Protein backbone atom coordinates (compact mmCIF):
# COMPACT_ATOMS: atom_id res chain seq x y z
CA UNK A 1 0.00 0.00 0.00
CA UNK A 2 1.11 3.55 -0.78
CA UNK A 3 -0.22 6.95 0.22
CA UNK A 4 0.27 10.58 -0.76
CA UNK A 5 -0.50 13.70 1.24
CA UNK A 6 -2.15 16.37 -0.93
CA UNK A 7 -2.80 19.97 0.05
CA UNK A 8 -6.09 21.38 -1.21
CA UNK A 9 -8.44 24.26 -0.47
CA UNK A 10 -8.27 28.04 -0.60
CA UNK A 11 -5.19 29.75 0.77
CA UNK A 12 -3.55 33.16 0.96
CA UNK A 13 -1.83 32.93 -2.44
CA UNK A 14 -3.39 34.74 -5.40
CA UNK A 15 -4.12 31.44 -7.15
CA UNK A 16 -5.56 30.08 -3.92
CA UNK A 17 -8.10 32.88 -3.57
CA UNK A 18 -6.20 35.02 -1.03
CA UNK A 19 -8.31 33.57 1.78
CA UNK A 20 -8.49 30.54 4.07
CA UNK A 21 -11.64 28.60 4.86
CA UNK A 22 -12.73 28.73 8.51
CA UNK A 23 -12.46 26.12 11.23
CA UNK A 24 -13.74 25.99 14.80
CA UNK A 25 -10.63 24.66 16.54
CA UNK A 26 -12.67 23.65 19.59
CA UNK A 27 -14.87 21.22 17.63
CA UNK A 28 -13.03 20.52 14.36
CA UNK A 29 -16.02 21.72 12.34
CA UNK A 30 -14.88 23.48 9.16
CA UNK A 31 -16.08 24.79 5.82
CA UNK A 32 -14.41 23.31 2.75
CA UNK A 33 -13.57 26.28 0.52
CA UNK A 34 -11.90 25.29 -2.80
CA UNK A 35 -9.48 27.44 -4.78
CA UNK A 36 -10.88 29.67 -7.56
CA UNK A 37 -11.43 28.26 -11.05
CA UNK A 38 -8.87 29.65 -13.50
CA UNK A 39 -9.96 27.99 -16.77
CA UNK A 40 -13.06 28.04 -18.99
CA UNK A 41 -15.86 25.74 -17.83
CA UNK A 42 -18.70 24.18 -19.81
CA UNK A 43 -21.78 26.44 -19.54
CA UNK A 44 -24.11 25.42 -16.72
CA UNK A 45 -21.38 23.57 -14.78
CA UNK A 46 -20.02 26.59 -12.92
CA UNK A 47 -19.74 26.35 -9.12
CA UNK A 48 -20.15 29.90 -7.73
CA UNK A 49 -18.66 30.74 -4.35
CA UNK A 50 -22.09 32.07 -3.44
CA UNK A 51 -23.12 28.45 -2.80
CA UNK A 52 -20.99 28.61 0.37
CA UNK A 53 -22.50 31.78 1.84
CA UNK A 54 -25.16 30.06 3.97
CA UNK A 55 -22.71 27.51 5.33
CA UNK A 56 -20.19 30.22 6.11
CA UNK A 57 -22.87 32.33 7.78
CA UNK A 58 -23.75 29.47 10.13
CA UNK A 59 -20.06 29.45 11.09
CA UNK A 60 -20.14 33.18 11.76
CA UNK A 61 -17.96 33.99 8.76
CA UNK A 62 -18.64 36.12 5.69
CA UNK A 63 -17.40 35.32 2.20
CA UNK A 64 -14.88 38.00 1.18
CA UNK A 65 -16.05 40.43 -1.49
CA UNK A 66 -13.37 39.45 -4.01
CA UNK A 67 -14.71 35.87 -4.19
CA UNK A 68 -18.43 36.63 -4.41
CA UNK A 69 -18.49 36.89 -8.20
CA UNK A 70 -16.03 34.07 -8.86
CA UNK A 71 -16.42 30.33 -9.38
CA UNK A 72 -14.83 27.49 -7.43
CA UNK A 73 -12.42 24.88 -8.74
CA UNK A 74 -14.25 22.22 -6.74
CA UNK A 75 -11.53 19.63 -6.43
CA UNK A 76 -11.51 17.24 -4.69
CA UNK A 77 -15.23 16.82 -5.14
CA UNK A 78 -16.26 14.89 -2.06
CA UNK A 79 -19.85 14.56 -3.22
CA UNK A 80 -18.75 12.61 -6.30
CA UNK A 81 -15.62 11.12 -4.67
CA UNK A 82 -13.30 12.39 -7.39
CA UNK A 83 -9.98 14.20 -7.50
CA UNK A 84 -8.37 15.69 -10.59
CA UNK A 85 -4.92 17.00 -11.37
CA UNK A 86 -2.63 17.80 -14.26
CA UNK A 87 1.04 18.17 -15.14
CA UNK A 88 3.68 17.06 -12.67
CA UNK A 89 1.25 16.31 -9.84
CA UNK A 90 -0.85 14.08 -12.09
CA UNK A 91 2.34 12.24 -13.04
CA UNK A 92 3.19 11.72 -9.36
CA UNK A 93 -0.27 10.30 -8.70
CA UNK A 94 0.10 7.90 -11.63
CA UNK A 95 3.67 6.88 -10.78
CA UNK A 96 3.19 6.36 -7.04
CA UNK A 97 -0.36 5.10 -6.55
CA UNK A 98 -2.41 2.08 -7.55
CA UNK A 99 -5.94 0.84 -6.94
CA UNK A 100 -6.50 0.56 -3.18
CA UNK A 101 -3.86 3.14 -2.30
CA UNK A 102 -4.53 6.36 -0.35
CA UNK A 103 -4.82 10.05 -1.12
CA UNK A 104 -4.98 12.02 2.12
CA UNK A 105 -6.17 15.62 1.78
CA UNK A 106 -5.18 18.44 4.11
CA UNK A 107 -5.76 22.19 4.17
CA UNK A 108 -4.64 25.32 5.96
CA UNK A 109 -7.68 26.67 7.81
CA UNK A 110 -8.33 29.95 9.62
CA UNK A 111 -9.19 29.43 13.28
CA UNK A 112 -12.34 31.35 14.23
CA UNK A 113 -10.96 31.70 17.77
CA UNK A 114 -7.46 32.97 16.95
CA UNK A 115 -5.75 34.85 14.14
CA UNK A 116 -2.24 33.96 15.24
CA UNK A 117 -1.72 30.73 13.33
CA UNK A 118 -3.41 28.62 10.68
CA UNK A 119 -4.79 25.20 11.58
CA UNK A 120 -3.24 22.63 9.26
CA UNK A 121 -5.56 19.65 9.32
CA UNK A 122 -6.65 16.55 7.45
CA UNK A 123 -10.00 17.17 5.75
CA UNK A 124 -10.60 14.01 3.72
CA UNK A 125 -9.31 10.65 2.55
CA UNK A 126 -9.71 8.67 -0.67
CA UNK A 127 -9.11 4.97 -1.21
CA UNK A 128 -8.48 4.78 -4.95
CA UNK A 129 -10.94 2.84 -7.07
CA UNK A 130 -10.11 3.99 -10.61
CA UNK A 131 -7.91 6.25 -12.73
CA UNK A 132 -9.10 7.85 -15.97
CA UNK A 133 -8.43 10.85 -18.20
CA UNK A 134 -10.85 13.74 -17.91
CA UNK A 135 -11.34 13.86 -21.70
CA UNK A 136 -12.57 10.25 -21.62
CA UNK A 137 -15.35 10.95 -19.12
CA UNK A 138 -18.69 10.82 -20.95
CA UNK A 139 -20.59 14.07 -21.46
CA UNK A 140 -23.38 13.18 -19.03
CA UNK A 141 -20.81 12.69 -16.27
CA UNK A 142 -18.95 15.99 -16.77
CA UNK A 143 -20.25 17.39 -13.49
CA UNK A 144 -18.27 14.94 -11.34
CA UNK A 145 -15.08 17.00 -11.01
CA UNK A 146 -13.56 20.42 -11.64
CA UNK A 147 -11.33 19.02 -14.41
CA UNK A 148 -14.22 17.35 -16.25
CA UNK A 149 -16.20 20.60 -16.00
CA UNK A 150 -13.42 22.41 -17.85
CA UNK A 151 -13.37 22.91 -21.61
CA UNK A 152 -10.42 20.69 -22.55
CA UNK A 153 -8.63 19.99 -25.78
CA UNK A 154 -8.79 16.41 -27.06
CA UNK A 155 -5.14 15.81 -26.14
CA UNK A 156 -5.44 17.09 -22.54
CA UNK A 157 -3.82 14.82 -19.94
CA UNK A 158 -5.86 15.91 -16.88
CA UNK A 159 -6.13 12.88 -14.59
CA UNK A 160 -9.27 11.90 -12.69
CA UNK A 161 -9.12 9.64 -9.63
CA UNK A 162 -12.33 8.01 -8.43
CA UNK A 163 -12.53 6.82 -4.82
CA UNK A 164 -14.30 3.90 -3.17
CA UNK A 165 -17.58 4.79 -1.44
CA UNK A 166 -18.02 4.25 2.31
CA UNK A 167 -14.27 4.23 2.99
CA UNK A 168 -13.64 7.58 1.26
CA UNK A 169 -14.98 11.08 1.76
CA UNK A 170 -14.76 14.39 3.55
CA UNK A 171 -14.07 14.35 7.26
CA UNK A 172 -17.07 15.66 9.16
CA UNK A 173 -14.61 17.21 11.61
CA UNK A 174 -11.06 17.92 10.52
CA UNK A 175 -8.06 16.39 12.27
CA UNK A 176 -5.40 18.99 13.15
CA UNK A 177 -1.91 17.72 12.37
CA UNK A 178 0.27 20.81 12.03
CA UNK A 179 2.36 23.17 14.08
CA UNK A 180 4.71 26.04 13.30
CA UNK A 181 8.31 25.04 13.95
CA UNK A 182 11.65 25.70 12.30
CA UNK A 183 10.14 28.67 10.45
CA UNK A 184 7.46 26.66 8.61
CA UNK A 185 4.27 24.72 9.12
CA UNK A 186 5.06 21.04 9.67
CA UNK A 187 3.35 17.87 10.85
CA UNK A 188 3.54 17.73 14.64
CA UNK A 189 6.44 15.56 15.75
CA UNK A 190 4.27 13.16 17.77
CA UNK A 191 1.99 12.61 14.77
CA UNK A 192 4.95 12.23 12.42
CA UNK A 193 6.29 9.52 14.71
CA UNK A 194 2.91 7.79 14.89
CA UNK A 195 2.62 7.75 11.09
CA UNK A 196 6.12 6.39 10.58
CA UNK A 197 7.31 9.50 8.77
CA UNK A 198 6.89 11.37 5.50
CA UNK A 199 9.17 11.63 2.48
CA UNK A 200 9.66 15.39 3.06
CA UNK A 201 12.20 16.83 5.48
CA UNK A 202 10.95 17.32 9.04
CA UNK A 203 7.25 16.96 8.11
CA UNK A 204 7.17 20.03 5.84
CA UNK A 205 3.56 20.87 5.00
CA UNK A 206 3.38 23.96 2.85
CA UNK A 207 2.43 23.71 -0.80
CA UNK A 208 5.11 22.42 -3.17
CA UNK A 209 5.39 20.62 -6.51
CA UNK A 210 6.37 17.38 -4.80
CA UNK A 211 3.61 15.48 -3.00
CA UNK A 212 4.75 14.02 0.35
CA UNK A 213 4.65 10.22 0.51
CA UNK A 214 3.34 8.56 3.66
CA UNK A 215 6.21 6.18 4.41
CA UNK A 216 4.17 3.68 6.40
CA UNK A 217 0.51 3.76 5.24
CA UNK A 218 -0.43 0.88 7.54
CA UNK A 219 0.73 2.83 10.59
CA UNK A 220 -1.05 5.91 9.28
CA UNK A 221 -4.31 3.94 9.03
CA UNK A 222 -3.89 2.63 12.57
CA UNK A 223 -3.45 6.22 13.77
CA UNK A 224 -6.46 7.35 11.74
CA UNK A 225 -8.65 4.59 13.19
CA UNK A 226 -7.75 5.75 16.69
CA UNK A 227 -9.08 9.24 15.84
CA UNK A 228 -12.55 7.76 15.17
CA UNK A 229 -13.10 9.80 12.01
CA UNK A 230 -16.55 10.24 10.50
CA UNK A 231 -16.55 10.36 6.69
CA UNK A 232 -19.32 12.01 4.70
CA UNK A 233 -19.96 12.03 0.94
CA UNK A 234 -20.57 15.75 0.80
CA UNK A 235 -18.52 18.87 0.14
CA UNK A 236 -20.06 20.77 3.06
- Tens digits of residue pLDDT in 175-188: 999 999 988 899 99
Q: What percent of the chain has pLDDT over 90?
A: 91
Are 192 and 203 in contact by the 8 Å Cβ rule? The answer is yes
Give the SS3 label for residue 51: helix
The ranges of the chain with pLDDT < 50 are none
Judge if pTM exceeds 0.85: yes
The strand ranges marked E within 86-144 are 102-111, 118-133
Q: Which of 106, 232, 83 is nearest to 170 (CA)?
A: 232
What is the model's pLDDT at position 221? 98
Tell me what pLDDT residue 80 has.
98
What pLDDT is stored for residue 146 in this prediction? 98
Count of CA atoms in the C-beta half-sphere (13 A) of 138: 2
Predicted pLDDT at 12: 93
pLDDT value at residue 37: 98
The CB density around residue 113, as the number of other CB atoms within 10 Å, is 10
Q: Are 207 and 11 in contact (CB under 8 A)?
A: yes
Q: What pLDDT, on the 0 to 100 scale, is given for residue 205?
A: 87
Q: Residue 39: which residues within 8 A CB-CB, separation 6 or more? A: 150, 151
**What pLDDT does 87 receive?**
93
Amino acid sequence: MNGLLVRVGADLSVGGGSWNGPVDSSTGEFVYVPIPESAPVHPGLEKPYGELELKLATSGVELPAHLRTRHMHLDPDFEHLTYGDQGERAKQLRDNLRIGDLIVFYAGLADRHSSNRLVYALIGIFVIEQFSLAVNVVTEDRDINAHTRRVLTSDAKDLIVRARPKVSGRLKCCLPIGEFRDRAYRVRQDILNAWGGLSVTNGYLQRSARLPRILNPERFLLWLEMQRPVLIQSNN
